[in-house]
Amino acid sequence: MAERKGSADSRTHSTETESLFSSDAAVGTGGEDTVGSAKTLSSTKRRRDALEKELIKALKTPEKEAKAVAGLWDLWTHERGEAAHLQLREADQLMGTANPDMLVRAAAMVDEIMREHENWVEPINRMATILFLQGRYDESVEMCLKVLELKPWHFGALSGIVMCYSRLGNAEEMNKWANRALPPSGTFKKPGSDTVYEPRKGWVNKMIQELEMRQRFLM
């Protein structure tokens, strides 16, 4: 679900991402992810995809993890340009109050962003968070699944769906999704064995393969 705000790493990555994708907000209507030409769009998307891949890879390394997480959140929230990012932040502020009336207003705002920016994961992820806060766990699961259809490596949605099934008392689904979520970093031994394994590295490698396959399919 939605990330926590206000870390120094997040603010640093915000500046970097705004610079990297400044062309997205410069052209187009309604802050859409459009640019002046197909060539520029292709170049921007390639840079964005390359950055996302590098940030996912960085999740393998404990000392890089915090910056990688902040960088991915910032990348995802800027995918449709700075104007759309600011709309999302406004909704986040309403969500942060945890006031029922404010959540209704936030939901209406996020719904409008979702309609304007089809297949942008972060408004969908925000809607999952709002529905969770409203106790509408089944509907929140549906939103998480939509996020994961677009980005199977979206650790926020993976964590969110586990939380939903926990609240629903569905241990089977909760455990299934917990096994797919971002594992802890570090080295571990399997019970009753001297075999050492690193679940985080395995998860990252799998998600990089998925990302590369999708990139090749869309080229």
Q: What is the pLDDT of residues 152-189, one digit of tens each?
A: 999 999 999 999 999 999 999 999 999 999 999 888 88
Rounded CA-CA distance 137/132 in Å is: 5
Residue matched to tokens 């080295």: 187
Look-up of token digits 């999708």: 214
Query: DSSP character for 183?
Result: P
Provide the 3-class DSSP secondary structure of residue 117.
coil
C-alpha 44/C-alpha 47 separation (Å) is: 5
Please give the pLDDT value at position 94. 95
How far apart are alpha carbons 71 and 48 in whole angstroms?
A: 12
- Spatial separation of the C-alpha atoms in residues 197 and 202, rounded to whole Å: 9
User: What percentage of the chain has pLDDT greater than the value 90?
Assistant: 69
Using one digit for the tens of pLDDT, what is the confidence trace for 81-93? 999 999 999 999 9
The single-letter code of the amino acid at 97 is T
pLDDT band at 43 (very low <50, low <70, confident <90, very high): confident
